[in-house]
Amino acid sequence: MKDIIVQKYGGTSVGSIDRIKRIAQKVVKLKDSGKKVVVTVSAMAKTTDDLMNKARQINENPPERELDMLLSTGEQISIALLAMAIESLGEKVISLTGGQCGIITDSNHKKARITEIDTERIEEELSQDKIVIVAGFQGINENNDITTLGRGGSDTTAVAVAAALKAEKCEIYTDVDGVYTADPRVVKNAKLLDKISYDEMLELASLGAKVLHGRSVEMARKYKIPLVVKSSFNDSKGTEIVEVSEMEKVQVRGVSLDKNIAKLSVLEVPDRPGVAFKLFSELSKNHIPVDMIIQNINRDLVNDISFTVKIDDLSKALVICKEIANEVGASKVLSDSKVCKLSVVGTGIAGSAEVASTFFETLYESGINIQMISTSEIKISCIIDEKFGEDGLCHLHDKFNFDSDFEREVC
Amino acid sequence: MKDIIVQKYGGTSVGSIDRIKRIAQKVVKLKDSGKKVVVTVSAMAKTTDDLMNKARQINENPPERELDMLLSTGEQISIALLAMAIESLGEKVISLTGGQCGIITDSNHKKARITEIDTERIEEELSQDKIVIVAGFQGINENNDITTLGRGGSDTTAVAVAAALKAEKCEIYTDVDGVYTADPRVVKNAKLLDKISYDEMLELASLGAKVLHGRSVEMARKYKIPLVVKSSFNDSKGTEIVEVSEMEKVQVRGVSLDKNIAKLSVLEVPDRPGVAFKLFSELSKNHIPVDMIIQNINRDLVNDISFTVKIDDLSKALVICKEIANEVGASKVLSDSKVCKLSVVGTGIAGSAEVASTFFETLYESGINIQMISTSEIKISCIIDEKFGEDGLCHLHDKFNFDSDFEREVC
């Protein structure tokens, strides 16, 4: 329906009674402007931590189904309280759990994927002129068991509901003003972007920008739902995430830094088919996501294979690498957790030698050694020593000159 | 199924992490003895208060549907935590919300009545050798909205589930050792009863004994479910509530005191048909439950009608009485909140002049004036001045000589 707006408010946005009241006013204002409004909320900040804390005191490794049963109460509390706040402003409103609004998922507790949304109930409530409050982060499986969607789950709920309702727009309210050219806590003159493409946003998300989870952006792209990211604490316009970047020329959209990674290298791997498969399938079986796999041309019938993993997975990955190295006859496994990934993102980067050379030149001028390089259609990433991360980010941001009108400060 | 035991643990029994762990051990012990076990739990003590407090800060008069959405999370948290505790002891277990275990209610939010229980899911889980944890106090209506059962709700869930499963027994664990001949906090030599009949328990419950809500007793009686009330903090045998009292002779089962009442009198009501109807239907329309209605024989074509209400309803009842008194031409409305109700309960009391005369004699000897008297098949109640309540209770308990082997203390 053309006039439906889906809004999503995160945990800090509903973190206190006063904030819930403020959100209620924002929601009612939108409703009064003539829109049909669906609001997705997360658990109040701290509720989830409190519940996890209780669970761990009872069972160090709680069953995932029961954890979902427990944690899903967090959003249920938020939706009920927000509905009460909206009702006190005189608007018709109803709160719905994930199950009640027909969000069906697979049975992977703690990280379920939405398989289907039956919007009948939401549409029925909207047709009665109600504001509909939907619990984020949760659904039910075919067995009627409660599931949670894992990281980025509430954003995903909002986008999925928007897609299912064919909403006009999905607005993600958060504690930052939108998407910046770089992390504004690190780069002082980072600039807020008016627009960014789904693809660029996806790369930024996967490269450590915490503003939106890649999963929700992927879904928005798939169903062509215009996304807006903006602050729930002020009236800033935020950043629109749209299908295509408007400019045709190469555009570096932002720079990013991910310190949450570690590097692994398996040295002198015999150059024969199936070795890389063996290594990465074993990592995959152990649920260790791998990023930036690099294998250089072979020399002397052996290869060095390097890749990065999340820092939390390092010790587990190391054990697996050593086993496989032993099995296939590789000479050694090296690891380094004191690294970070510096990236530039923008449409058309792959076609432009200029962006890559500017990137490498900047690092060279800053005296930063590059350990690994990887590129895609719309990004270039380098692994460097962790201690140069912030410095490199600032120099890159300066060099790519995001907005010449923008007043620069020394970073 | 003959080997199913349903247990219920109240809010104080699951009031802390340690208590939840202790309950888990009790449950596992029962399971290991070869029984199929279904456990109903309430919200952890304080959770409900915390949630109500949040709700009131947001909306002084929160919509009841949203209140149910909010408060039902309390039991959902308890069942998940108890399931985790049981799993950590190595038993197979699953927690189910009211909706998941097929508890269907009407749509009277905050005080819903169970209309149907579809036990398919519970039976399926039991057949997989799991301990099943059921959220007390809640269900869903036909619209899939969450409802709560109101006062005594968790006991009612336990008994209803036991009835639907044709369980062998329903055990209600609480913070007292069972049903006493009088409130042991007031009467020091009160005796724990081994057995009591449903009817006697019902009267005791309605007369202020807080150990079991009348609603659950009624349901147990209806479906002939043997009930046991016992302590969750020790291994006392508790009290069995069974269909018929075993003795044929008149048996005073207990004495009780209810201070939570107020007395109203409408004086000189014209003696014509429909006047009492008018008064009590108006009170009923305003949801004011009335107890102990007394109208004496008429004199001079007018009647005095007296009745008692819960103390919280007094001011509302007074307004209604004055309106009706005015309308029908009664002379005056009197009220008194400084009264209490003293009762003796036991099978066959109605047929025994001895019990009544002993009751009245005891009050006379204690210098206590009787304001109103009401009797039923199995109880006699007197309204007296509030300040004599405890004193009267102790004297009655002594007089009825509940157990001559029992060592008496001066009350």
**Mean pLDDT to the nearest integer, B142-167:** 93
The whole-angstrom separation of Cα B102 and Cα B165 is 12
The whole-angstrom separation of Cα A95 and Cα B349 is 52
The whole-angstrom separation of Cα A175 and Cα B190 is 61
**Mean pLDDT to the nearest integer, A325-331:** 90
pLDDT at position B17 over 90: yes
Q: Which domains does chain B have, with CATH numbers?
A: 4-175 (3.40.1160.10)
pLDDT at position A247 over 60: no
What pLDDT sits at residue A318? Answer: 94
pLDDT in tens, B87-101: 999 999 999 999 999
Q: Coil, helix or strand for A65?
A: helix
- Interface contact B69-A95, CB threshold 8 A: yes
Q: Coil, helix or strand for B93?
A: strand
What pLDDT sits at residue A296? Answer: 67
Residues in A touching B64 (Cβ below 8 Å): none
Q: Evaluate whether A103 touches A138 at the Cβ level (below 8 Å).
A: yes
Q: In chain A, which residues touch B (CB < 8 A)?
A: 17, 20-21, 51, 54-55, 57-60, 62-63, 65-67, 69-70, 72-73, 76-77, 79-81, 83-85, 87-88, 94-95, 97, 99-100, 121, 144-146
What percentage of residues in chain A have a pLDDT greater than 90?
53
**Mean pLDDT to the nearest integer, A235-252:** 74
Q: Evaluate whether A48 touches A11 at the Cβ level (below 8 Å).
A: yes
In chain A, count of helices (H) and strands (E)?
11, 20
- Closest CA of chain A from B111, distance in Å: 18
Residues in B touching A70 (Cβ below 8 Å): 76-77, 80-81, 84
Q: Which of A201-210, B74-83, B212-221 has the lowest mean pLDDT?
A: A201-210
Residues ≥6 apart with Cβ < 8 Å to B345: B200, B203, B204, B207, B252, B253, B254, B255, B256, B378, B379
Residues ≥6 apart with Cβ < 8 Å to B130: B92, B93, B94
pTM of the model: 0.78
For residue B154, CA distances in Å to B46, B148, B376 come to: 16, 9, 28
If we measure between CA atoms, which residue out of A2, A41, A5, A43 comes closest to residue A24? Answer: A41
What pLDDT sits at residue A364? Answer: 87
Enumerate the H helices of A131-274 as residue ranges.
153-165, 198-206, 214-223
Position B73 confidence tier, pLDDT thresholds 50, 70, 90 = very high
**Residue B63 belongs to what H/E stretch?**
none
Q: Coil, helix or strand for A180?
A: strand
Position B104 confidence tier, pLDDT thresholds 50, 70, 90 = very high
Mean of all residue pLDDT scores within chain A: 88
If we measure between CA atoms, which residue out of A360, A382, A379 comes closest to residue A371? Answer: A382
Residue of A20, A47, A70 for testing the chain B interface, max B β-carbons within 10 Å: A70
What pLDDT sits at residue A350? Answer: 65
**Mean pLDDT to the nearest integer, A300-312:** 84
**Mean pLDDT to the nearest integer, A310-337:** 92
Position B359 confidence tier, pLDDT thresholds 50, 70, 90 = confident
Residue of A48, A57, A60, A66 for testing the chain B interface, max B β-carbons within 10 Å: A66
User: At which residue do the structure tokens 């941001």 appear?
Assistant: A397
pLDDT at position A355 over 90: no
What percentage of residues in chain B have a pLDDT greater than 70?
92
The whole-angstrom separation of Cα A379 and Cα A347 is 8
Q: Which of A73, A79, A81 is the closest to B76 by Cβ?
A: A73
**Mean pLDDT to the nearest integer, A226-254:** 80
Give bridge partners of residue B40 from the DSSP assignment.
B8, B134
Give me A408's structure tokens: 């620069």
**Mean pLDDT to the nearest integer, A386-397:** 92
The whole-angstrom separation of Cα A285 and Cα A293 is 17
Position B297 confidence tier, pLDDT thresholds 50, 70, 90 = low
| Sign of the torsion angle spanned by Cα atoms A84, A86, A90, A94 | negative
- Closest CA of chain A from B63, distance in Å: 7
Q: Evaluate whether A383 touches A340 at the Cβ level (below 8 Å).
A: yes
- Closest CA of chain A from B18, distance in Å: 8
The whole-angstrom separation of Cα A9 and Cα A279 is 41
Q: What ipTM goes with this model?
A: 0.76
The whole-angstrom separation of Cα B343 and Cα A379 is 83
